[in-house]
């Protein structure tokens, strides 16, 4: 199988910069200034009015300087985030931090950044200034080599902050004709104009009108872009005439110019008026999405008897042509995004129309139905597809959850949405987020219900994945009690599975064996292959292994792998392969064990399964010792120590895994001698998870270090 998405963040060192979608014009001085300030200061905040080019300039800069930061340039966009309490989490998630441990998130974040030599870009802070300032301060104190570059309409008010205002683009004054052509704003106009009207060329006939237009628009890039797209239907002179009329009306008698932010507002208002009524309505409705969205989502959420679903495709195309929507296409399909300032405008419009609540409800409904579909399909052949799809929709899911949690009458939908997405929290690296939301949603829905039962077993699963076995047990027991009260036998069985998992982590093998056995025996529901039956089988085999009953574990795992193969299930199969590697290793078949471990590890990389990868790497280190490749094992042990740090409790705190780890370290030290071992261990400590996995897979040879 070919990997269809870029390596997820958190596995890489080089950052997560988005591509530049349009050509960039001018700003040579500003960029040089910013570079200098970044050299001298640890926090640079780029300020300026909406649409002036803060985000775009910073993105350009980021691409130019990425080579200067060995640990990468990381980009976090907070534009559509509403909840100040989620700033920390959003940043951690953009950095791809494993998000496993149950420790305070600030600790994990600071520790992850640690001594990394990296640039963190936080785009759009103005609505969350306080939260951003606190976090940035904390991070800069904890991480001596970190630099932060923020964009915000207002500064963060930190004493050591270097504030760099972004002025509008140069506008032509009464300069000689030749200089008009090279003025930045004229260049931007020409560049966007030729994209919509391929015949358009700046020449001596139109240059004066273009220059005047840029002056009228105060050199604000967004305003210039909005005007330029009108060349599709109007001439430069016509655009200029219409805008001049409008501005002089707004400025009132006796005034010749508007303040800049009003210029932009007027340009947006003008652009808005030139849209068809249906396009205007769609523009307003699309503002309920968080960042980007797919066409199907727009069709469902925004349609009603005033906007027919079948017309939405054409309307979206119209908004793309008018530069209201950005279009982004990649291997996974085409997505659209409303430009930030224009989303704000749309949101105000939607409030005025009195449709905000309804649209948010439909947005929630859409993502709830998508989540249900993804859950139903999870155990099947399109697992990887759903993994990628739901990761793409993560921001929209968050927004839908936030809405549901704070809206009376919709909190139960939050619970259902969260529970359906159990695989996203547990399997795809977002355990901490899942826990946070589940705890909030359970609190908001205190009455006993089937929905609560499901959420409780998901919570138990999430906590066990953090190594918090006591918390996991508590949730599983609550699930069991409540499930009996509502007569939900399916939840009782799943509760038993989760209680068994917790017992396994706690090292209570007898209890684990009994509870997992019950879960397996009474599982009759095909739908519960995942998360009930198959993981229970893998876990039971681990129990058997820990009890020394390898002969029984192996056929169990073989059957499990067979079911996985038949169904196209990958995620559990990666765990089954790992358990199989342990079984084979324990019976002296190290070569075969390596094969199984690698099979599992390859799958885990696709799923961003950090916990699973670390567990597999632990086993691979042991296999390498058994194969006489102690140096590779020592490198892996170094990498493991380093990577467990942010991934939560090493070995989940499970005694049977910890014992194997200690044994491996001892054997490795013995084989290499203390000095050589330490050198290799230290060297391995510099490997990120992706590199460590490549080493384990044989894609990266020791000699390359």
- In the complex with ligand ATP, the residue whose CB is nearer, 49 or 456, is 49
- In the complex with ligand ATP, the residue whose CB is nearer, 16 or 55, is 55
Shortest reach from residue 289's CB to ligand ATP, in Å: 16
Shortest reach from residue 153's CB to ligand ATP, in Å: 6
- In total, the chain counts a number of residues equal to 705
- In the complex with Mg ion, the residue whose CB is nearer, 265 or 642, is 265
Shortest reach from residue 53's CB to ligand ATP, in Å: 3
Closest CA relative to residue 276, chosen from 222, 312, 300, 239? 312
Shortest reach from residue 173's CB to ligand ATP, in Å: 19
When CB distances are held under 5 to 8 angstroms depending on the partner's kind, the choice from Mg ion, ligand ATP, none that residue 10 binds is: none
- In the complex with ligand ATP, the residue whose CB is nearer, 49 or 634, is 49
When CB distances are held under 5 to 8 angstroms depending on the partner's kind, the choice from Mg ion, ligand ATP, none that residue 56 binds is: ligand ATP
User: In the bound complex, which residue of the shown chain has the CB atom lying closest to ligand ATP?
Assistant: 53
Query: CA 93 → CA 143, 296, 374, 471, 518, distances in Å?
Result: 18, 26, 21, 23, 37
The answer to whether 313 touches 323, Cβ cutoff 8 Å, is no
CB within 8 Å of 178: residues ≥ 6 apart: none
Distance CA 270, CA 227 (A): 9
Shortest reach from residue 153's CB to Mg ion, in Å: 9
Shortest reach from residue 466's CB to ligand ATP, in Å: 36
Query: CA 119 → CA 28, 685, 704, distances in Å?
Result: 21, 21, 27
When CB distances are held under 5 to 8 angstroms depending on the partner's kind, the choice from ligand ATP, Mg ion, none that residue 350 binds is: none
Q: Which stretch binds Mg ion (CB under 5 A): 46-54, 68-76, 125-133, 136-144?
A: 46-54
* Binding letters toward Mg ion, positions 593-622, x by CB under 5 A: ------------------------------
Beta-sheet pairing, 147-152 with 43-47 = parallel
The count of other CB atoms within 10 Å of the CB of residue 261 is 15
Does residue number 55 form part of the binding site for Mg ion (CB under 5 A)? yes
The count of other CB atoms within 10 Å of the CB of residue 703 is 5
Residue recorded with tokens 């340009």 = 267
Q: What angle do CA 8, 11, 16 make, to 5 degrees?
A: 55
The count of other CB atoms within 10 Å of the CB of residue 386 is 20
- In the complex with Mg ion, the residue whose CB is nearer, 54 or 147, is 54
Shortest reach from residue 184's CB to ligand ATP, in Å: 7
Shortest reach from residue 50's CB to Mg ion, in Å: 8
Distance CA 30, CA 220 (A): 15
Shortest reach from residue 274's CB to ligand ATP, in Å: 18
Does residue number 693 form part of the binding site for Mg ion (CB under 5 A)? no
Cβ burial of 293 (10 Å; 0-12, 13-18, 19+) is: buried
Query: CA 473 → CA 64, 100, 181, 512, 648, distances in Å?
Result: 50, 17, 71, 12, 18
When CB distances are held under 5 to 8 angstroms depending on the partner's kind, the choice from ligand ATP, Mg ion, none that residue 622 binds is: none
Query: In the range 484-513, which residues lie near Mg ion by CB under 5 A?
Result: none
* Binding letters toward Mg ion, positions 116-155, x by CB under 5 A: ----------------------------------------
The answer to whether 121 touches 58, Cβ cutoff 8 Å, is yes
Q: Which stretch binds Mg ion (CB under 5 A): 54-62, 493-501, 544-552, 629-637?
A: 54-62
Shortest reach from residue 27's CB to Mg ion, in Å: 15
User: In the bound complex, which residue of the shown chain has the CB atom lying closest to Mg ion?
Assistant: 55
Strand partners of residue 165: 47
Distance CA 503, CA 516 (A): 10
Does residue number 396 form part of the binding site for Mg ion (CB under 5 A)? no
Shortest reach from residue 90's CB to ligand ATP, in Å: 16
- In the complex with ligand ATP, the residue whose CB is nearer, 25 or 424, is 25
Does residue number 632 form part of the binding site for Mg ion (CB under 5 A)? no
3-state SS of 63-116?
HHHHHHCCCCEEEEECCCCCCHHHHHHHHHHHCCCCCCCCCCHHHHHHHHHCCC
Shortest reach from residue 56's CB to Mg ion, in Å: 8
Shortest reach from residue 446's CB to ligand ATP, in Å: 40
Q: Which stretch binds Mg ion (CB under 5 A): 55-63, 70-78, 92-100, 499-507?
A: 55-63
- In the complex with ligand ATP, the residue whose CB is nearer, 193 or 542, is 193
- In the complex with ligand ATP, the residue whose CB is nearer, 126 or 609, is 126
Cis peptide preceding 386, ω within 30 of 0: no
- In the complex with Mg ion, the residue whose CB is nearer, 219 or 532, is 219
- In the complex with ligand ATP, the residue whose CB is nearer, 151 or 573, is 151
Distance CA 368, CA 374 (A): 10
Closest CA relative to residue 482, chosen from 532, 448, 446, 529? 448
- In the complex with ligand ATP, the residue whose CB is nearer, 31 or 353, is 31
- In the complex with ligand ATP, the residue whose CB is nearer, 37 or 145, is 37
When CB distances are held under 5 to 8 angstroms depending on the partner's kind, the choice from ligand ATP, Mg ion, none that residue 279 binds is: none
Inter-helix orientation angle 655-672/630-647, to 10°: 140
Q: Which stretch binds Mg ion (CB under 5 A): 48-56, 99-107, 420-428, 567-575?
A: 48-56
3-state SS of 386-455?
HHHHHHHCHHHHHHHHHHHHHCCCCHHHHHHHHHHCHHHHHHCCCHHHHHHHHHHHHHHCCCCCHHHHHH
When CB distances are held under 5 to 8 angstroms depending on the partner's kind, the choice from Mg ion, ligand ATP, none that residue 50 binds is: ligand ATP
When CB distances are held under 5 to 8 angstroms depending on the partner's kind, the choice from ligand ATP, Mg ion, none that residue 153 binds is: ligand ATP
Which residues of this protein are in contact with ligand ATP, per CB under 6 A? 22, 24-27, 48, 50-56, 124, 151, 153, 188, 221-222, 225, 339-341
**Residue 664 C-alpha from the chain's centroid:** 35
Shortest reach from residue 118's CB to ligand ATP, in Å: 22
Closest CA relative to residue 222, chosen from 257, 179, 258, 271? 271
Closest CA relative to residue 613, chosen from 638, 584, 642, 643? 643
When CB distances are held under 5 to 8 angstroms depending on the partner's kind, the choice from ligand ATP, Mg ion, none that residue 342 binds is: none
The answer to whether 614 touches 600, Cβ cutoff 8 Å, is no
Shortest reach from residue 552's CB to Mg ion, in Å: 60
When CB distances are held under 5 to 8 angstroms depending on the partner's kind, the choice from Mg ion, ligand ATP, none that residue 600 binds is: none
Measured distance between the N- and C-terminal CA atoms of the chain, rounded to whole angstroms: 29
Shortest reach from residue 326's CB to ligand ATP, in Å: 8
Inter-helix orientation angle 610-626/590-606, to 10°: 160
- In the complex with Mg ion, the residue whose CB is nearer, 219 or 467, is 219
DSSP 534-595: HHHHHHHHHHHHHTT-HHHHHHHHHHHHHHHHHHT--HHHHHHHHHHHHHHHHTT-HHHHHH
Q: Which stretch binds Mg ion (CB under 5 A): 53-61, 94-102, 610-618, 696-704?
A: 53-61
Which chain residues interact with Mg ion by CB under 5 A?
Answer: 54-55
């Amino acid at each position: 199988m070919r990997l269809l998405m870029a390596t997820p963040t958190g596995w890489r060192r080089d950052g997560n910069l988005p591509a530049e979608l349009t050509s960039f014009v001018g700003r040579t001085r500003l960029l040089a200034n910013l570079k200098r300030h970044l050299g001298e200061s640890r926090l640079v905040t780029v300020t300026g009015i909406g649409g002036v080019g803060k985000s775009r300039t910073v993105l350009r800069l980021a691409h130019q300087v990425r080579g200067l930061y060995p640990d990468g340039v990381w980009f976090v966009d907070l534009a559509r985030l509403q909840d100040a309490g989620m700033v920390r989490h959003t940043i951690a998630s953009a950095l791809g931090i494993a998000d496993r441990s149950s420790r305070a998130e600030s600790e994990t974040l600071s520790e992850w950044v640690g001594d990394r030599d990296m640039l963190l870009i936080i785009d759009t802070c103005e609505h969350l200034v306080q939260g951003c300032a606190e976090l940035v301060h904390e991070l800069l104190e904890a991480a001596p080599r970190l630099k932060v570059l923020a964009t915000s309409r207002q500064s963060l008010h930190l004493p050591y902050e270097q504030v760099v205002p972004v002025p509008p683009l140069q506008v032509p004054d009464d300069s000689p004709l030749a200089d008009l052509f090279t003025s930045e704003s004229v260049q931007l106009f020409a560049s966007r104009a030729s994209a919509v009207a391929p015949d358009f060329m700046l020449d001596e006939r139109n240059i004066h009108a273009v220059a005047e237009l840029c002056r009228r628009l105060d050199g604000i890039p967004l305003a210039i872009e909005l005007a330029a797209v009108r060349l599709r239907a109007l001439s430069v002179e016509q655009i200029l005439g219409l805008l001049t009329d409008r501005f002089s009306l707004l400025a009132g008698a006796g005034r010749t110019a508007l303040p800049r932010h009003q210029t932009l507002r007027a340009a947006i208002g003008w652009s808005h008026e030139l849209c068809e009524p249906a396009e205007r309505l769609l523009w307003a409705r699309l503002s309920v999405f968080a960042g980007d969205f797919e066409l199907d989502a727009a069709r469902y959420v925004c349609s009603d008897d005033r906007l027919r679903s079948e017309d939405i495709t054409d309307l979206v195309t119209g908004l793309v042509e008018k530069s209201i929507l950005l279009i982004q296409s990649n291997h996974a399909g085409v997505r659209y995004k409303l430009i930030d300032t224009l989303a704000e405008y749309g949101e105000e419009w939607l409030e005025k129309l009195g449709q905000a609540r309804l649209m948010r409800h439909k947005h929630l409904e859409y993502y709830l139905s998508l989540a249900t579909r993804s859950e139903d399909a999870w155990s099947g052949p399109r697992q990887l597809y759903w993994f990628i799809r739901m990761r793409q929709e993560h921001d929209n899911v968050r927004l839908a959850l936030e809405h549901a949690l704070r809206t009376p009458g919709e909190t139960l939908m939050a619970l259902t949405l969260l529970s359906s997405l159990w695989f996203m929290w547990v399997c795809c690296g977002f355990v901490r987020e899942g826990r946070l939301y589940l705890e909030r949603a359970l609190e908001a829905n205190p009455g006993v219900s089937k929905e609560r039962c499901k959420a409780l077993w998901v919570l138990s699963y999430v906590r066990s994945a953090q190594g918090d076995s006591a918390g996991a047990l508590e949730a599983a027991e609550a699930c069991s009690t409540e499930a009996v009260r509502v007569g939900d036998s399916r939840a009782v069985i799943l509760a038993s599975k989760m209680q068994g998992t917790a017992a396994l982590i706690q090292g209570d093998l007898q209890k684990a064996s009994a509870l997992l056995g019950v879960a397996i025996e009474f599982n009759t529901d095909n739908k519960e292959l995942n998360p009930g039956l198959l993981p229970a089988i893998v876990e039971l085999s681990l129990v058997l292994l820990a009890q020394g009953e390898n002969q029984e574990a192996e056929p169990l795992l073989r059957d499990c792998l067979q079911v996985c193969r038949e169904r196209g299930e990958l995620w559990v199969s990666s765990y089954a392969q790992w358990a199989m590697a342990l079984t084979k290793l324990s019976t002296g078949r190290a070569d075969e064990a390596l094969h199984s471990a690698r099979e599992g590890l390859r799958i885990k990389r696709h799923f961003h399964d950090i916990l699973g990868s670390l567990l597999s790497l632990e086993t691979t280190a042991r296999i390498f010792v058994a194969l006489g490749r102690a140096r590779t094992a020592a490198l892996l042990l170094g990498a493991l120590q380093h990577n467990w740090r942010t991934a939560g409790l090493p070995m989940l705190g499970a005694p049977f895994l910890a014992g194997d780890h200690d044994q491996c370290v001892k054997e490795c030290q013995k084989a290499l001698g203390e000095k050589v071992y330490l050198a290799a261990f230290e060297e391995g400590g510099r490997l990120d998870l992706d590199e460590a996995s490549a080493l384990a897979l044989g894609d990266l040879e020791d000699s390359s270090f």
